[in-house]
A and B are shown apart, each in its own frame.
Chain A
Amino acid sequence: MAEAAGWVKSVLEGDRLVLSAGGDWTVNGVGTLDRQIRGLALQGAGSASLETSEISALDTAGAWLLYRTQRELAAGGVTVQLNGLDPRHATLVDLVEKADSLHAETDRIRPNVLLLLVNRVGRSVCDAVDELGHLLNFFGLVIITLGRCIVVPRRLRIVSLVNQMEQTGLNALGIVGMLLFMIGVVLAFQSAEQLRRFAAEIFTADGLAVLVLREIGVLIAAILIAGRSGSAFTAEIGMMKVNEEVDAMSTIGLDPIEVLVLPRINALLITLPLLTFFANVAALTGGTIMAVATLDVTYTQFMRQLADALTLKNLLVGMVKAPVFAFLIGMVGCYEGLKVGGSAESIGRLTTQSVVESIVLVILADALFSIIFSQLGI
């Protein structure tokens, strides 16, 4: 099909405005036509006619322009006759007119930007408060369900628990081990550099032991698990939510909290302490290797120093945090997953949110522990 550029002209014959249009009035040319029409002087006429016999092709976009011109002139008190319109094109203009009359007017209210800003701030504050309330509610629900399930151990769903333990614990060994090993190396190197100035390199072992056992081991393991398993919980449960699997469960009589949430949280409660211990070992190994390689101490000397610093108290101070962190990560991950609704798009958003929220909560809890321990003098 050869395309002829659309055109429009206006001639003022006395009191009468004669508009003529021709060429292709299709979507490809409406941009130019729109500018042409806007450039025409349409005021000041008593009556008007629109000659359309030369229009070779018309689609809804072109018909819209014809109709709009007619409507705008009519609004100014000038009635416009459409002349010479191809009957097939006429049905299009009718279609457009019918559609437009349904909506009466096309202008849109543009809200004030400042008002929008205030609105948004207020809304997000309210949302945050709501969110906290919901999370607390969910926490209670999980605790109640957990209590109910402990009474009837069959409901703890051992198969699903073991499966989750494999995914969150066993499969995470590689990454946790590797990262903590490297962090041990870095810690040893940095503290050795500083302590060397006081000729106290050997205390690298003490620093390493305290730091790793009390803080770094458990914290890094928890953050890794939040990124790795917390996000997986949200995505898995979210996908099931989108597929209405969760709703199907409820109608069959399975409690989603019991079937989906508890096995995941329980799995983390078991695996995160284990992973923490593993992380401690990896970090200490890395630190020891680095220290022996760069410092003027022998392996035996360093190990003896390290063994003195590796007290049960230090180990327990770190380990006691692990179940708390595990519970936070598991709860937030599952909660955000269950919050998914409607479209799959929200899964991505909520997964991000779940990771951020659980890491924030983990660090917050860690700070609380520090305060408590220092008050207790542990």
Chain B
Amino acid sequence: MTKEDAVITVKGLRTQFGTAVIHDNLDLTIQRGEVVGVVGGSGTGKSVLMRTILGLNKQRAGTIEMLGQDTREISTVVQRRCGVLFQNGALFSSLTVAENIQVPMREHLKLSRGLMDELAALKIAMVGLPRDAGPKYPSELSGGMRKRAGLARALSLDPEIVFLDEPTAGLDPIGAAAFDTLIRELQQSLGLTVFMVTHDLDSLSAICDRIAVLVDKRVRLGTMAEHMRDPHPWIQEYFHGPRARAAFNGSGK
């Protein structure tokens, strides 16, 4: 899987709600095995872009291909080969954490009860949840734990692409750093492609290979260094603001 091939290709995308145009003629190509962070001001459609790629939103124009297939509607590509972590975890509240993780397995695979329990326990451990989290219900977990449980469910079928919507928002800095490390480790060992909507400058500098900046209804994709040189005023402010300097100085990027 070292070969560089595009797993997500978006061409000429236009999304619109009523008369409000969110994206216009947006192009984006994401290569296999890279971690792409999506940033942008509030209301520039970061989450909308993610939802559109997943087929949860319909685009007005343009094509989106994921792993070589059009995703106009939620397709089997999304269901079997992608994992999605929604902003608040979106765990099924009537199921325990372990059952949540087993839902995709039950739906798509034929596994014995014992193996499913083992795999669920493994995923729970992998995302750094304590062992007794398995039989708990989502309402009994804290926000950070719910996020981890959501990630465990997203990783349930060992997907090729993982979509994360603000994975570190609402976590304490230590938890957020652990989350970053976890995503990086999983990405390296599994060859994951990660599409991550984030506001967390530390995550951006720590784990993202490339950064997609949503400005003027389009995406500018590049490495951190490239964005630093971009003259666009919003990008300048974003990457050279006081918070950005604080985050990047430590990492030396």
Q: Give A contacts to B, CB under 8 Å.
A: 26-28, 30-31, 34-35, 59-61, 64, 68, 88, 91-92, 95-96, 99-100, 102-104, 106, 108, 342-346
Contact = CB atoms under 8 A, between A and B. Distances in A.
A34 B125 contact: no
B190 A99 contact: no
B155 interface: yes
Interface string B59-100: 000000000000000000000000000000000011000000
B109 A31 contact: yes
The 9 closest A-B pairs by CB, nearest first: A59-B158, A99-B125, A345-B93, A103-B131, A91-B189, A99-B126, A106-B121, A31-B111, A342-B139
Interface residues of B, number: 32
A96 B111 contact: no
B118 A92 contact: no
Contacts of B126: 60, 95-96, 99
B118 A64 contact: yes
Interface string B179-212: 0000001101111000000000000000000000
19 contacts: A27-B105, A34-B111, A60-B123, A60-B126, A60-B158, A61-B119, A61-B158, A64-B118, A88-B191, A92-B189, A95-B186, A100-B122, A100-B125, A103-B131, A106-B121, A108-B134, A108-B135, A342-B139, A345-B94
A27 B157 contact: yes
Contacts of B188: 91
A60 B119 CA distance: 9
A99 B111 contact: no
A68 B155 CA distance: 19
Nearest to B128: A102
Given A95-B126, A99-B125, 16 more contacts: A31-B109, A31-B111, A60-B122, A60-B126, A61-B119, A64-B119, A64-B122, A91-B189, A95-B185, A103-B125, A104-B131, A342-B139, A343-B93, A343-B138, A345-B94, A345-B139
Contact of A31 (B115, B125, B138): B115
B110 interface: yes
Contacts of B94: 345
B24 interface: no
Contacts of A60: 122-123, 126, 155, 158, 190
B112 interface: yes
Given A99-B122, A100-B122, A106-B121, A26 B112 contact: no
B117 A95 contact: no
A108 B135 CA distance: 10
Contacts of B121: 103, 106
A37 B243 CA distance: 53
A27 B109 contact: yes
B122 A31 contact: no
A260 to B, nearest CB: 23
Nearest to A29: B109
A113 to B, nearest CB: 16
A36 to B, nearest CB: 12
A102 B190 contact: no
B70 to A, nearest CB: 19
A30 B115 contact: yes
Most chain-B CB neighbours within 10 Å: which of A60, A88, A342? A60
Nearest to A32: B110
Contacts of B157: 27
A185 B117 CA distance: 60
Interface in B135-155: 135, 138-139, 155
Nearest to A34: B115
Contacts of A96: 122, 126
Contacts of B105: 27
A88 B2 CA distance: 11
A95 B118 contact: no
Contacts of B134: 108
B80 to A, nearest CB: 8
Contacts of A102: 125, 128, 131
A82 to B, nearest CB: 15
A30 B122 CA distance: 14
Given A64-B122, A345-B94, A59 B115 contact: no
A88 B110 contact: no
Given A34-B111, A34-B115, A26 B158 contact: yes
Given A88-B189, A103-B131, A34 B112 contact: yes
A103 B169 CA distance: 27
Contacts of B115: 30-31, 34
A27 B118 contact: no
A30 B116 CA distance: 10
A104 B131 CA distance: 9
Contacts of A344: 93
Of the listed residues A27, A102, A345, the one surrounded by the most CB atoms of chain B closer than 10 A to its CB is: A27
Contacts of A342: 139
Contacts of B118: 64, 68, 106
A59 B117 contact: no
B15 to A, nearest CB: 27
A88 B186 CA distance: 11
A346 to B, nearest CB: 8
B139 A343 contact: yes
A346 B112 CA distance: 32
Contacts of B128: 102
